[in-house]
Amino acid sequence: MSLIELMIAMVVLAVGLGALTVLFISSASADNRNSRDTSATLLAQLVLEQISAQHPNSTASIILTDCAGTQWDIATAGSIGPTGTGATLVIDPTSQYYGAIDPTQAYAAVPPATAAVPGYAMQYVDCNTGGRQAVYDVRWNIINVSPYARMITVSSRQLSPDRYCRYCRPWGRTASAKELYRDCKG
């Protein structure tokens, strides 16, 4: 094997390893994003199940405590549709959010849950490994359909940490693995 053949083989190997590095980094980013989405879904499900466990005519509230020690007083009272009680529902059939919680509504505009007053929104703190915390904006709306049934709509999304892992290749030049990976510590 000549020196030129060896150099060509090394270039081919380097290109292949570079492609694998980008693949590993993008899969780590997708895994991180999926983990956040799963946590938000589980939190929304927790609120939904706690409210659903109450009788539809009940006005009793439920206390949830997050890992920061904040007690959230979850309101379970609803009202007749189409708007119900709580976070604003999108009732425009042409909207992509039709039937869901309005994501553009300011948090302060939703009656917030506190330790003393039942509400329809909370900023729940979830603890993670290594002392890291994530804050989720959780909102809900309750419509009384009949004396024995109600429709509960819950929305949850992560607010912080603000910085997410972003992987991008600088335009117009080759990027090193260090440039592709940015520290994801919140």
Entry pTM: 0.71
The count of domains in the chain is: 1
Residue 40 lies in a domain: yes
Exposure string (b/e) for 116-139, b if CB count within 10 Å is 16 or more? eebbbbbbbbbeeeeeeebbbbbb
Reported as a pLDDT band with limits 50, 70 and 90, residue 161 is: low
Residue 28 lies in a domain: yes
Residue with tokens 């189409």: 82
Average pLDDT over residues 157-183: 46
- Spatial CA neighbour of 91 closest among 39, 45, 151: 151
Residue 119 lies in a domain: yes
**d(Cα 37, Cα 22) in Å, to the nearest integer?**
23
Q: Could you list the residue range(s) of the whole structural domain that residue 157 is in? A: 3-165
Residue 95 lies in a domain: yes
The DSSP element (H or E) to which 40 belongs, if any, is helix 3-52
Residue 80 lies in a domain: yes
